[in-house]
Amino acid sequence: MRRFVWRLQRVLEIRANEEQIKKTELLKLTQRLTEKRSELLIQKRILNEMIAALAKMEPHKRLIEQELFLKCSTTSDDLIGQLKKQIRQLEIEQSDRIAEVLKLRRFREGLEKLREQAKMKFMKEQEKLEQKELDETAAIRFAREMEQAEY
């Protein structure tokens, strides 16, 4: 019996590799996004803790500390703004990568279905050829037996 060979097998392998690469890139991007979100939460927590600490201070000490806090808070606010901007950019990039991965997956799955259909067709054709060959062999054997029976 002949071996099944599908012409588009190489294309399927390339697409599967592309999908795997895109998944890896998406994973790395998601990790970066998670790191940025953690960084943002840490910065917000630091600000909240500083505010809570200021609230607990005595009024005359609080004024000096508040002045220092306000100077530092502008820097923290800028950092928080940058982190939010980076997070938005990473989220947009992540959604684009997800769309790419899904597109590649659908294409790969379509190729796999085509491969399965081609394989089923091949198997049916091979079964038909084998059956035809068996029928011919049986017909030849029958004809020989009939011929020898006549002698």
Phi, psi of 57 (to 5 degrees): -75, 160
Quick one: the chain helix, strand, coil %, rounded to 5?
95, 0, 5
Quick: pLDDT tens for 33-79: 999 999 999 999 988 888 888 888 888 778 778 877 787 788 888 99
Model-wide pTM > 0.75: no
